[in-house]
Structure 1
Protein backbone atom coordinates (compact mmCIF):
# COMPACT_ATOMS: atom_id res chain seq x y z
CA UNK A 1 0.00 0.00 0.00
CA UNK A 2 1.18 3.53 -0.81
CA UNK A 3 0.74 6.39 1.63
CA UNK A 4 0.33 10.04 0.67
CA UNK A 5 2.13 12.49 2.96
CA UNK A 6 2.79 16.21 3.37
CA UNK A 7 5.74 18.08 4.93
CA UNK A 8 5.22 21.16 7.10
CA UNK A 9 8.19 23.06 8.53
CA UNK A 10 9.08 26.74 8.40
CA UNK A 11 12.70 25.92 7.59
CA UNK A 12 13.42 24.85 4.02
CA UNK A 13 16.60 23.06 5.13
CA UNK A 14 14.60 20.85 7.49
CA UNK A 15 12.00 20.05 4.80
CA UNK A 16 14.73 19.16 2.33
CA UNK A 17 16.39 16.84 4.84
CA UNK A 18 13.11 15.01 5.55
CA UNK A 19 12.40 14.69 1.83
CA UNK A 20 15.86 13.22 1.22
CA UNK A 21 15.51 10.74 4.07
CA UNK A 22 12.08 9.72 2.82
CA UNK A 23 13.40 8.97 -0.66
CA UNK A 24 14.33 5.44 0.47
CA UNK A 25 10.68 4.66 1.34
CA UNK A 26 9.03 3.59 -1.93
CA UNK A 27 5.58 3.54 -0.36
CA UNK A 28 5.66 7.14 0.97
CA UNK A 29 4.67 9.79 -1.58
CA UNK A 30 5.17 13.49 -0.73
CA UNK A 31 2.24 15.34 -2.29
CA UNK A 32 2.88 18.81 -0.90
CA UNK A 33 4.89 21.06 1.41
CA UNK A 34 4.01 23.97 3.70
CA UNK A 35 6.22 26.55 5.43
CA UNK A 36 3.69 27.78 7.99
CA UNK A 37 0.78 26.44 10.03
CA UNK A 38 -2.03 28.06 8.04
CA UNK A 39 -0.73 26.63 4.75
CA UNK A 40 -0.30 23.23 6.40
CA UNK A 41 -3.92 23.22 7.57
CA UNK A 42 -5.14 24.15 4.09
CA UNK A 43 -2.92 21.51 2.48
CA UNK A 44 -4.14 18.76 4.80
CA UNK A 45 -7.82 19.58 4.31
CA UNK A 46 -7.52 19.90 0.53
CA UNK A 47 -5.22 16.96 -0.22
CA UNK A 48 -6.36 14.63 2.60
CA UNK A 49 -3.05 12.78 3.09
CA UNK A 50 -2.74 9.68 5.23
CA UNK A 51 0.37 11.07 6.95
CA UNK A 52 1.82 14.47 7.84
CA UNK A 53 5.36 15.26 8.95
CA UNK A 54 4.94 18.48 10.88
CA UNK A 55 7.03 20.85 12.94
CA UNK A 56 5.49 22.14 16.17
CA UNK A 57 6.87 25.68 16.10
CA UNK A 58 5.65 27.38 12.92
CA UNK A 59 4.48 30.91 12.12
CA UNK A 60 0.74 31.49 11.84
CA UNK A 61 -0.33 28.33 13.66
CA UNK A 62 1.64 25.80 15.67
CA UNK A 63 1.74 22.19 14.54
CA UNK A 64 -0.49 21.29 17.48
CA UNK A 65 -3.06 23.92 16.51
CA UNK A 66 -3.08 22.52 12.99
CA UNK A 67 -3.63 18.98 14.31
CA UNK A 68 -6.61 20.05 16.40
CA UNK A 69 -8.24 22.28 13.78
CA UNK A 70 -8.14 20.33 10.52
CA UNK A 71 -11.30 18.67 9.27
CA UNK A 72 -9.29 15.83 7.78
CA UNK A 73 -7.30 13.95 10.43
CA UNK A 74 -4.14 12.32 9.08
CA UNK A 75 -1.65 10.53 11.24
CA UNK A 76 0.95 13.09 12.29
CA UNK A 77 4.61 12.51 12.99
CA UNK A 78 5.65 15.62 14.87
CA UNK A 79 9.09 17.07 14.27
CA UNK A 80 10.05 18.71 17.52
CA UNK A 81 12.79 20.18 19.67
CA UNK A 82 10.73 19.83 22.85
CA UNK A 83 12.37 18.69 26.06
CA UNK A 84 12.17 15.24 27.64
CA UNK A 85 8.97 15.84 29.59
CA UNK A 86 7.02 16.98 26.56
CA UNK A 87 8.38 14.05 24.59
CA UNK A 88 6.98 11.68 27.22
CA UNK A 89 3.54 13.05 26.38
CA UNK A 90 3.99 12.01 22.76
CA UNK A 91 5.08 8.50 23.71
CA UNK A 92 1.77 7.67 25.35
CA UNK A 93 -0.32 8.61 22.32
CA UNK A 94 -1.08 7.23 18.87
CA UNK A 95 1.20 9.79 17.20
CA UNK A 96 4.97 9.75 17.06
CA UNK A 97 7.70 12.38 17.16
CA UNK A 98 11.16 12.90 15.73
CA UNK A 99 13.63 14.94 17.73
CA UNK A 100 15.58 17.45 15.67
CA UNK A 101 18.00 17.13 14.03
CA UNK A 102 16.46 13.98 12.60
CA UNK A 103 18.24 10.91 11.26
CA UNK A 104 17.24 7.96 9.12
CA UNK A 105 16.91 5.51 12.00
CA UNK A 106 14.47 7.74 13.91
CA UNK A 107 12.46 8.31 10.75
CA UNK A 108 12.18 4.56 10.05
CA UNK A 109 10.97 3.88 13.60
CA UNK A 110 8.31 6.58 13.30
CA UNK A 111 7.11 5.37 9.91
CA UNK A 112 6.98 1.73 11.08
CA UNK A 113 4.83 2.85 14.01
CA UNK A 114 2.54 4.77 11.66
CA UNK A 115 2.09 1.73 9.42
CA UNK A 116 1.28 -0.43 12.44
CA UNK A 117 -1.33 2.02 13.71
CA UNK A 118 -2.78 3.14 10.37
CA UNK A 119 -6.56 3.09 10.25
CA UNK A 120 -8.11 3.67 6.80
CA UNK A 121 -11.02 5.44 8.48
CA UNK A 122 -8.60 8.09 9.76
CA UNK A 123 -9.81 7.77 13.35
CA UNK A 124 -7.60 9.84 15.62
CA UNK A 125 -7.73 9.36 19.37
CA UNK A 126 -6.26 11.12 22.37
CA UNK A 127 -5.43 14.44 20.65
CA UNK A 128 -7.07 16.36 23.50
CA UNK A 129 -4.88 14.49 25.96
CA UNK A 130 -1.82 15.39 23.91
CA UNK A 131 -2.72 19.07 23.94
CA UNK A 132 -3.40 19.05 27.68
CA UNK A 133 -0.11 17.35 28.50
CA UNK A 134 2.21 19.59 26.51
CA UNK A 135 0.48 22.95 26.16
CA UNK A 136 2.11 24.22 29.36
CA UNK A 137 5.52 22.76 28.67
CA UNK A 138 8.22 25.39 28.42
CA UNK A 139 10.85 24.81 25.73
CA UNK A 140 14.37 24.01 26.91
CA UNK A 141 16.07 24.73 23.60
CA UNK A 142 16.01 27.25 20.78
CA UNK A 143 16.39 25.86 17.28
CA UNK A 144 18.46 27.86 14.78
CA UNK A 145 19.66 27.00 11.29
CA UNK A 146 23.12 27.81 9.98
CA UNK A 147 23.69 26.58 6.43
CA UNK A 148 22.94 22.86 6.46
CA UNK A 149 23.21 22.68 10.26
CA UNK A 150 20.25 22.75 12.65
CA UNK A 151 21.49 23.75 16.08
CA UNK A 152 19.60 23.23 19.34
CA UNK A 153 20.75 25.88 21.80
CA UNK A 154 20.15 25.39 25.50
CA UNK A 155 18.12 28.38 26.69
CA UNK A 156 20.32 28.69 29.77
CA UNK A 157 23.25 29.53 27.48
CA UNK A 158 21.51 32.38 25.66
CA UNK A 159 22.66 35.81 26.83
CA UNK A 160 20.92 38.11 24.40
CA UNK A 161 18.98 38.20 21.12
CA UNK A 162 19.43 41.08 18.70
CA UNK A 163 17.32 41.99 15.67
CA UNK A 164 19.36 42.79 12.58
CA UNK A 165 17.39 43.48 9.39
CA UNK A 166 15.56 40.24 8.46
CA UNK A 167 17.53 38.08 10.89
CA UNK A 168 18.11 37.71 14.61
CA UNK A 169 21.53 37.27 16.20
CA UNK A 170 21.55 34.83 19.11
CA UNK A 171 24.46 35.49 21.48
CA UNK A 172 25.36 32.58 23.76
CA UNK A 173 28.08 31.82 26.27
CA UNK A 174 29.85 29.78 23.58
CA UNK A 175 29.18 31.41 20.22
CA UNK A 176 26.89 33.58 18.09
CA UNK A 177 24.20 32.12 15.87
CA UNK A 178 21.88 33.64 13.27
CA UNK A 179 18.25 32.64 12.80
CA UNK A 180 15.68 33.69 10.21
CA UNK A 181 13.03 33.94 12.93
CA UNK A 182 12.04 37.49 13.83
CA UNK A 183 12.56 38.94 17.29
CA UNK A 184 8.77 39.01 17.77
CA UNK A 185 8.47 35.30 16.94
CA UNK A 186 11.24 34.47 19.38
CA UNK A 187 9.75 36.69 22.07
CA UNK A 188 6.47 34.78 21.80
CA UNK A 189 8.22 31.41 21.87
CA UNK A 190 10.63 32.02 24.76
CA UNK A 191 9.59 31.92 28.44
CA UNK A 192 8.65 35.47 29.39
CA UNK A 193 9.84 35.14 32.98
CA UNK A 194 13.41 34.62 31.78
CA UNK A 195 13.69 36.50 28.47
CA UNK A 196 12.58 40.13 28.51
CA UNK A 197 12.41 42.76 25.81
CA UNK A 198 14.41 45.89 26.68
CA UNK A 199 14.42 47.58 23.28
CA UNK A 200 12.94 47.12 19.83
CA UNK A 201 16.22 45.39 18.90
CA UNK A 202 17.08 43.44 22.05
CA UNK A 203 15.80 40.65 24.30
CA UNK A 204 17.98 39.62 27.25
CA UNK A 205 18.16 36.68 29.63
CA UNK A 206 17.51 38.07 33.15
CA UNK A 207 19.91 35.51 34.64
CA UNK A 208 22.84 37.37 33.05
CA UNK A 209 21.90 40.79 34.45
CA UNK A 210 24.35 42.13 37.02
CA UNK A 211 23.07 45.68 37.44
CA UNK A 212 21.49 48.70 35.79
CA UNK A 213 23.08 52.10 35.32
CA UNK A 214 21.22 55.32 34.68
CA UNK A 215 21.69 56.42 31.09
CA UNK A 216 20.96 59.40 28.92
CA UNK A 217 17.42 60.62 28.32
CA UNK A 218 15.96 58.70 31.30
CA UNK A 219 17.06 55.33 29.93
CA UNK A 220 18.91 52.49 31.65
CA UNK A 221 22.05 50.63 30.64
CA UNK A 222 22.21 46.91 31.39
CA UNK A 223 25.46 45.56 32.84
CA UNK A 224 25.86 41.82 32.43
CA UNK A 225 27.74 39.36 34.61
CA UNK A 226 29.54 37.96 31.54
CA UNK A 227 31.79 39.54 28.92
CA UNK A 228 29.65 41.25 26.26
CA UNK A 229 30.93 43.88 23.83
CA UNK A 230 27.65 45.59 22.92
CA UNK A 231 25.75 48.28 24.78
CA UNK A 232 22.35 47.07 25.98
CA UNK A 233 20.08 50.05 26.63
CA UNK A 234 16.59 49.81 28.10
CA UNK A 235 14.43 52.25 26.16
CA UNK A 236 11.89 54.35 28.06
CA UNK A 237 8.99 52.32 26.62
CA UNK A 238 10.21 49.20 28.42
CA UNK A 239 11.50 50.60 31.73
CA UNK A 240 8.24 50.14 33.67
CA UNK A 241 7.88 46.54 32.52
CA UNK A 242 11.54 45.83 33.23
CA UNK A 243 11.24 47.07 36.79
CA UNK A 244 8.25 44.83 37.55
CA UNK A 245 9.91 41.74 36.10
CA UNK A 246 13.28 42.28 37.73
CA UNK A 247 11.69 42.88 41.12
CA UNK A 248 10.03 39.48 40.85
CA UNK A 249 13.20 37.58 39.97
CA UNK A 250 15.48 39.53 42.29
CA UNK A 251 13.70 38.86 45.60
CA UNK A 252 16.22 39.23 48.39
CA UNK A 253 18.82 40.74 46.07
CA UNK A 254 19.97 44.35 46.05
CA UNK A 255 19.23 45.28 42.44
CA UNK A 256 18.45 48.97 42.16
CA UNK A 257 16.68 50.31 39.11
Structure 2
Protein backbone atom coordinates (compact mmCIF):
# COMPACT_ATOMS: atom_id res chain seq x y z
CA UNK A 1 0.00 0.00 0.00
CA UNK A 2 1.25 3.49 -0.87
CA UNK A 3 1.67 5.76 2.15
CA UNK A 4 1.46 9.55 2.05
CA UNK A 5 2.10 12.52 4.31
CA UNK A 6 0.33 15.89 4.06
CA UNK A 7 1.93 19.10 5.35
CA UNK A 8 -0.02 22.35 5.53
CA UNK A 9 -0.17 24.97 8.28
CA UNK A 10 -3.90 25.53 7.62
CA UNK A 11 -5.78 22.58 9.16
CA UNK A 12 -8.92 23.00 7.06
CA UNK A 13 -6.88 22.97 3.84
CA UNK A 14 -5.00 19.88 4.95
CA UNK A 15 -8.29 18.18 5.78
CA UNK A 16 -9.76 19.16 2.40
CA UNK A 17 -6.77 17.64 0.59
CA UNK A 18 -7.01 14.52 2.75
CA UNK A 19 -10.72 14.15 1.93
CA UNK A 20 -10.06 14.59 -1.78
CA UNK A 21 -7.26 12.03 -1.74
CA UNK A 22 -9.45 9.51 0.04
CA UNK A 23 -12.12 9.95 -2.61
CA UNK A 24 -9.81 9.76 -5.61
CA UNK A 25 -7.38 7.15 -4.25
CA UNK A 26 -9.10 5.09 -1.53
CA UNK A 27 -6.13 2.72 -1.23
CA UNK A 28 -3.76 5.54 -0.31
CA UNK A 29 -2.78 5.46 3.36
CA UNK A 30 -2.44 8.97 4.85
CA UNK A 31 0.04 8.22 7.61
CA UNK A 32 0.51 11.73 8.98
CA UNK A 33 -0.77 15.31 8.64
CA UNK A 34 1.91 17.83 9.65
CA UNK A 35 1.12 21.37 10.79
CA UNK A 36 4.47 22.94 9.84
CA UNK A 37 7.68 22.29 7.96
CA UNK A 38 9.72 21.12 10.94
CA UNK A 39 7.11 18.53 11.87
CA UNK A 40 6.86 17.42 8.22
CA UNK A 41 10.62 16.93 7.91
CA UNK A 42 10.77 14.89 11.12
CA UNK A 43 7.88 12.63 10.17
CA UNK A 44 9.12 12.05 6.62
CA UNK A 45 12.46 10.94 8.06
CA UNK A 46 10.76 8.69 10.62
CA UNK A 47 7.99 7.19 8.49
CA UNK A 48 9.61 7.22 5.04
CA UNK A 49 6.29 7.55 3.16
CA UNK A 50 6.32 7.00 -0.59
CA UNK A 51 4.61 10.34 -1.17
CA UNK A 52 4.52 13.78 0.50
CA UNK A 53 2.18 16.66 -0.31
CA UNK A 54 4.06 19.76 0.85
CA UNK A 55 2.65 23.27 1.10
CA UNK A 56 5.41 25.62 -0.07
CA UNK A 57 4.75 28.32 2.53
CA UNK A 58 4.86 26.92 6.06
CA UNK A 59 6.33 28.15 9.35
CA UNK A 60 9.58 26.63 10.56
CA UNK A 61 10.65 25.21 7.21
CA UNK A 62 9.15 25.89 3.80
CA UNK A 63 8.01 23.02 1.63
CA UNK A 64 11.05 23.63 -0.56
CA UNK A 65 13.39 23.30 2.42
CA UNK A 66 11.62 20.14 3.61
CA UNK A 67 11.96 18.58 0.16
CA UNK A 68 15.61 19.51 -0.06
CA UNK A 69 16.29 17.64 3.18
CA UNK A 70 14.63 14.36 2.16
CA UNK A 71 17.19 11.56 2.17
CA UNK A 72 14.93 8.61 1.36
CA UNK A 73 12.80 7.81 -1.69
CA UNK A 74 9.80 9.95 -0.78
CA UNK A 75 8.34 11.59 -3.88
CA UNK A 76 7.08 15.16 -3.51
CA UNK A 77 3.99 16.94 -4.75
CA UNK A 78 4.20 20.67 -4.04
CA UNK A 79 1.11 22.67 -3.14
CA UNK A 80 1.34 26.39 -3.82
CA UNK A 81 -0.74 29.54 -4.04
CA UNK A 82 1.81 31.18 -6.32
CA UNK A 83 1.88 30.65 -10.02
CA UNK A 84 4.70 31.67 -12.32
CA UNK A 85 7.93 31.29 -10.34
CA UNK A 86 7.07 27.81 -9.13
CA UNK A 87 5.24 26.43 -12.12
CA UNK A 88 7.92 27.24 -14.67
CA UNK A 89 10.57 25.52 -12.59
CA UNK A 90 8.40 22.53 -11.72
CA UNK A 91 7.33 21.99 -15.33
CA UNK A 92 10.92 22.24 -16.50
CA UNK A 93 11.98 19.60 -13.99
CA UNK A 94 8.89 17.42 -14.58
CA UNK A 95 7.84 17.71 -10.93
CA UNK A 96 4.28 17.46 -9.70
CA UNK A 97 2.52 20.48 -8.22
CA UNK A 98 -0.97 21.59 -7.24
CA UNK A 99 -2.28 25.14 -7.25
CA UNK A 100 -4.52 26.48 -4.53
CA UNK A 101 -7.46 26.52 -4.38
CA UNK A 102 -7.30 22.80 -5.14
CA UNK A 103 -9.42 21.37 -7.92
CA UNK A 104 -10.34 17.70 -8.00
CA UNK A 105 -9.75 17.39 -11.75
CA UNK A 106 -6.21 18.69 -11.43
CA UNK A 107 -5.57 16.49 -8.40
CA UNK A 108 -6.80 13.43 -10.32
CA UNK A 109 -4.32 14.12 -13.14
CA UNK A 110 -1.51 14.54 -10.62
CA UNK A 111 -2.38 11.24 -8.97
CA UNK A 112 -2.29 9.47 -12.34
CA UNK A 113 1.26 10.75 -12.86
CA UNK A 114 2.25 9.85 -9.31
CA UNK A 115 0.95 6.28 -9.66
CA UNK A 116 2.88 5.85 -12.89
CA UNK A 117 6.07 7.22 -11.33
CA UNK A 118 5.74 5.00 -8.27
CA UNK A 119 5.10 1.93 -10.42
CA UNK A 120 8.28 2.61 -12.41
CA UNK A 121 10.21 3.23 -9.19
CA UNK A 122 9.14 -0.08 -7.59
CA UNK A 123 9.86 -2.12 -10.72
CA UNK A 124 13.37 -0.71 -11.15
CA UNK A 125 16.50 -0.79 -9.04
CA UNK A 126 16.24 1.54 -6.00
CA UNK A 127 17.57 4.96 -6.88
CA UNK A 128 17.79 8.28 -5.14
CA UNK A 129 15.17 10.90 -5.98
CA UNK A 130 15.47 12.62 -9.35
CA UNK A 131 18.60 14.79 -9.39
CA UNK A 132 16.59 17.48 -11.16
CA UNK A 133 14.58 17.95 -7.98
CA UNK A 134 17.67 18.95 -6.02
CA UNK A 135 18.77 21.28 -8.80
CA UNK A 136 15.42 23.07 -9.00
CA UNK A 137 15.12 23.35 -5.23
CA UNK A 138 18.54 24.93 -5.02
CA UNK A 139 17.57 27.45 -7.70
CA UNK A 140 14.30 28.34 -5.98
CA UNK A 141 15.82 28.60 -2.51
CA UNK A 142 18.60 30.84 -3.81
CA UNK A 143 16.28 33.03 -5.91
CA UNK A 144 16.11 36.68 -4.86
CA UNK A 145 13.05 37.51 -2.81
CA UNK A 146 12.11 40.11 -5.41
CA UNK A 147 11.80 37.38 -8.01
CA UNK A 148 9.47 35.42 -5.76
CA UNK A 149 7.42 38.52 -5.03
CA UNK A 150 6.82 39.00 -8.74
CA UNK A 151 4.63 35.89 -8.69
CA UNK A 152 0.97 36.73 -8.72
CA UNK A 153 -1.13 35.89 -5.71
CA UNK A 154 -4.12 33.80 -6.78
CA UNK A 155 -6.04 33.55 -3.51
CA UNK A 156 -5.80 34.57 0.13
CA UNK A 157 -6.51 32.64 3.32
CA UNK A 158 -8.67 34.95 5.37
CA UNK A 159 -10.48 34.70 8.69
CA UNK A 160 -14.13 35.36 9.39
CA UNK A 161 -14.69 34.76 13.06
CA UNK A 162 -13.26 31.36 13.94
CA UNK A 163 -13.38 30.11 10.35
CA UNK A 164 -10.72 30.36 7.66
CA UNK A 165 -11.76 30.83 4.03
CA UNK A 166 -10.00 30.53 0.69
CA UNK A 167 -10.87 33.65 -1.29
CA UNK A 168 -9.99 33.91 -4.94
CA UNK A 169 -8.23 37.19 -5.72
CA UNK A 170 -10.64 37.99 -8.54
CA UNK A 171 -13.49 38.01 -5.98
CA UNK A 172 -11.91 40.72 -3.82
CA UNK A 173 -13.43 44.19 -4.17
CA UNK A 174 -10.69 45.88 -2.18
CA UNK A 175 -8.18 45.47 0.66
CA UNK A 176 -8.16 47.99 3.51
CA UNK A 177 -5.68 48.16 6.37
CA UNK A 178 -7.45 48.29 9.73
CA UNK A 179 -5.31 48.45 12.89
CA UNK A 180 -3.44 45.11 13.15
CA UNK A 181 -5.28 43.47 10.28
CA UNK A 182 -6.14 44.01 6.63
CA UNK A 183 -9.79 43.73 5.68
CA UNK A 184 -10.53 41.62 2.60
CA UNK A 185 -13.82 42.89 1.22
CA UNK A 186 -15.84 40.69 -1.11
CA UNK A 187 -19.34 41.26 -2.49
CA UNK A 188 -20.86 39.37 0.42
CA UNK A 189 -18.60 39.66 3.47
CA UNK A 190 -15.55 41.04 5.24
CA UNK A 191 -12.61 38.80 6.11
CA UNK A 192 -9.31 39.50 7.87
CA UNK A 193 -5.68 38.76 7.03
CA UNK A 194 -2.39 39.84 8.58
CA UNK A 195 -0.71 40.66 5.28
CA UNK A 196 0.10 44.37 4.94
CA UNK A 197 -0.97 46.56 2.03
CA UNK A 198 2.68 46.90 0.99
CA UNK A 199 3.09 43.13 0.83
CA UNK A 200 -0.12 42.78 -1.18
CA UNK A 201 1.02 45.42 -3.67
CA UNK A 202 4.14 43.35 -4.35
CA UNK A 203 2.13 40.18 -4.93
CA UNK A 204 -0.83 41.41 -6.99
CA UNK A 205 -1.18 42.32 -10.66
CA UNK A 206 -0.66 46.11 -10.85
CA UNK A 207 -2.94 46.31 -13.88
CA UNK A 208 -5.82 44.87 -11.89
CA UNK A 209 -5.14 46.22 -8.39
CA UNK A 210 -4.42 49.91 -7.76
CA UNK A 211 -3.31 51.41 -4.50
CA UNK A 212 -5.49 54.49 -3.96
CA UNK A 213 -4.54 55.27 -0.38
CA UNK A 214 -1.78 54.18 1.98
CA UNK A 215 -4.34 51.84 3.54
CA UNK A 216 -6.44 50.87 0.51
CA UNK A 217 -5.93 48.68 -2.56
CA UNK A 218 -8.83 48.33 -5.01
CA UNK A 219 -9.72 45.80 -7.69
CA UNK A 220 -10.39 47.86 -10.82
CA UNK A 221 -12.80 45.20 -12.04
CA UNK A 222 -15.28 46.42 -9.42
CA UNK A 223 -14.76 50.17 -9.75
CA UNK A 224 -18.16 51.64 -10.61
CA UNK A 225 -17.74 55.42 -10.43
CA UNK A 226 -15.72 58.33 -9.05
CA UNK A 227 -16.94 61.49 -7.31
CA UNK A 228 -15.30 64.77 -6.31
CA UNK A 229 -16.60 66.83 -3.42
CA UNK A 230 -16.58 70.62 -3.04
CA UNK A 231 -12.97 70.45 -1.79
CA UNK A 232 -11.83 68.47 -4.86
CA UNK A 233 -11.33 65.35 -2.82
CA UNK A 234 -11.84 62.17 -4.84
CA UNK A 235 -13.99 59.24 -3.76
CA UNK A 236 -14.60 55.86 -5.36
CA UNK A 237 -17.78 53.80 -5.42
CA UNK A 238 -17.26 50.07 -5.80
CA UNK A 239 -19.78 47.55 -7.10
CA UNK A 240 -21.54 45.54 -4.39
CA UNK A 241 -20.42 48.00 -1.71
CA UNK A 242 -22.31 51.02 -0.40
CA UNK A 243 -19.53 52.97 1.31
CA UNK A 244 -17.33 55.27 -0.76
CA UNK A 245 -13.54 54.92 -0.57
CA UNK A 246 -11.35 58.05 -0.36
CA UNK A 247 -8.41 58.53 -2.72
CA UNK A 248 -5.38 60.26 -1.23
CA UNK A 249 -3.79 63.11 -3.16
CA UNK A 250 -0.72 61.00 -3.94
CA UNK A 251 -2.87 58.72 -6.11
CA UNK A 252 -5.38 61.12 -7.69
CA UNK A 253 -3.30 61.23 -10.87
CA UNK A 254 -4.30 57.63 -11.59
CA UNK A 255 -7.85 58.78 -12.28
CA UNK A 256 -7.25 61.84 -14.44
CA UNK A 257 -8.26 59.94 -17.56
CA UNK A 258 -11.55 58.85 -15.96
TM normalised by structure 1 equals: 0.63
Report deviation, 1:132: 2.9
RMSD: 4.4
- For residues 30-70 of structure 1, the C-alpha deviation after alignment (integer angstroms, 9 at most, x for no partner) is 11111222222222222221111122222333222222234
**Displaced runs of 4+ in structure 1, greater than 4 A?**
145-149, 174-177, 186-190, 192-195, 222-232
Aligned residue among 145, 148, 151 for 1:138: 151
Q: Deviations over 1:193-217 (max 9, x none)?
A: 979xxxxxx8544999x9xxxxxxx
Name structure 2 gaps, 5 residues minimum: 221-225, 227-232
Aligned to 1:3: 2
Task: Report the Cα distance in structure 2 between the residues aligned to 1:163 and 1:46, rounded to whole angstroms.
Answer: 44
Secondary structure at the counterpart of residue 90 of structure 2 = helix
Secondary structure (helix, strand or coil) at the match of 1:49 reads coil
What is the TM-score when the length of structure 2 is the normalising length? 0.63
Q: Tell me how far 1:171 sits from its aligned partner.
A: 3.3
Q: Distance in 1 between matches of 2:183 and 2:7?
A: 25
Gaps of 5+ in 1: 196-201, 211-221, 235-245
Residues 223 and 17 (structure 1), Cα distance of their counterparts in 2 relative to 1, 3 Å cut: same
Q: How many residues are treated as equivalent by the alignment?
A: 222
Q: In structure 2, how many angstroms separate the alpha carbons of the residues matched to 1:46 and 1:34? A: 13
How do 1:133-172 residues align onto structure 2 when only pairs under 5 Å count? 135=143, 136=147, 137-145=150-158, 150-154=166-170, 159-162=174-177, 168-171=182-185
Structure 2 contact 84–151 (Cα < 8 Å) conserved: no
Query: How far apart are residue 224 of structure 1 and its match?
Result: 6.6
- Cα distance in 2 between the residues matched to 1:182 and 1:89: 29
